[in-house]
Amino acid sequence: MIKILFYDVKPYDIPGFEKFGKERGIAFKFLESHLNHDTASLAKGYDGICVFVNDKIDKEIIDELYQNGVKLIALRSAGFNNVDVKAAFGKIHIYRVPAYSPYAVAEHAMAMLLTMNRRTHKAYIRTRDYNFSLNGLTGVDLHNKTVGVIGTGKIGKIFIDICKGFGMNVIAYDKFPNPNYDLEYVELEELFKRSDFISLHCPLTEENKHLINKDTIKLMKKGVGIINTSRGGLVNAIDLLDGIKERHVGFACLDVYEEEGDLFFEDRSGHILDDDTLRSLIAMPNVLVTAHQAFLTEEALFNIADTTTKNIVDFFNGNNNSNEVCYLCGNQENCKRKRKEKCF
């Protein structure tokens, strides 16, 4: 029986992982705690750990896990920017879930755009108080508006298809444009200047951290709408807040936030929020914040549990699996994964 310590569990995680764990010979121990410097020692005696996006796995934690015999970090997410993959190389193998439900995230991005454009959240609150006034609820037709999509992977492409269904004009930027997509690829500066709405669908890297900042916001149209369902670090939240205060940014839809780690996925309703920037953003009438909710569909939860448990079994059975990641993956000639081998 493979023993896996499962950090940062939520009630919606348990059914799928218990089901697939039982079927595939994995014994999960579920913890509500995040993985951090205080809880890393709890993994002693386990074959591997399972973590989510707000578990921070730096070199010190990796070294402690390695010394305690942990062989595998199973991410139940697509992104791995929260893991020091270079420090893990040669010690602990890392697997991820590259695509649990691109439809879930793309659909949530469009839901946020529609909500902010047509003020349906404000209309709901009004009518609950029998206020049937339409003042202040005017939106715009999405038809013929230009949406700039940054990142044209699976999620970005599905979001583009949804936008085309609304009759929107789509322009896109990707560091590696897909020649098989019928898209108008443009450089970032042009995308910022032409777009009525901008939606982010790219991973977070050192190169694109704070892609949305005071300088790029200045390039954008007055009244631009910004949607981020990818990673919080793509947006400099302070610069975004300034852009909103200056009436340059028309609205912002944020499912992610750079400093979300100790906030999102938890009930903080009885606490004072110390994060002044997030508190100010939430207070803005033209900002919609959801707490990293975009992935949360029944289909996505099923796929996350299915793929994560397959990753675990494949690793311990020595099977080839393309979901392994390391700091060499995809960017150097000596990437072993390209040769269908384990990373080390």
Which tokens sit at 255? Answer: 């499912």
The verdict on domain 102-289 having CATH code 1.10.10.10 is: no
Model confidence over 122-155: pLDDT tens digits?
Answer: 999 999 999 999 999 999 999 999 999 999 999 9
pTM for this prediction: 0.88
Active-site annotation holds for 260: yes
- Structure token digits, residue 109: 């991005």
Q: Do domains 2-100+298-339 and 102-289 have the same CATH topology?
A: yes
Pairing of strands 324-325, 93-95: antiparallel
pLDDT in tens, 190-233: 999 999 999 999 999 999 999 999 999 999 999 999 999 999 99
Which of the 8 DSSP states describes residue 315? Answer: H
276-320 confidence digits (pLDDT tens): 999 999 999 999 999 999 999 999 999 999 999 999 999 999 998
Catalytic residue among 93, 210, 231, 337: 231
Topology of the domain covering 2-100+298-339: Rossmann fold (3.40.50)
Report the candidate in 215, 221, 175 with the shortest Cα–Cα distance to residue 197: 221
Q: Domain ranges in the chain? A: 2-100+298-339, 102-289
SS3 49: strand
- Phi and psi at 140, nearest 5°, equal -130, 160
Q: Judge whether 189 counts as a catalytic residue.
A: no
Rounded CA separation 210/259 (Å): 13
Catalytic-labelled residue, pool 34, 96, 107, 260: 260
φ, ψ dihedrals at 87, nearest 5°: -65, -30
- Of the candidates 108, 292, 324, 337, the residue annotated as catalytic is 292
246 is annotated as an active-site residue = no
E strand intervals along the chain: 2-6, 26-30, 48-51, 72-75, 93-95, 146-150, 169-173, 184-185, 197-200, 224-228, 249-254, 287-289, 324-325
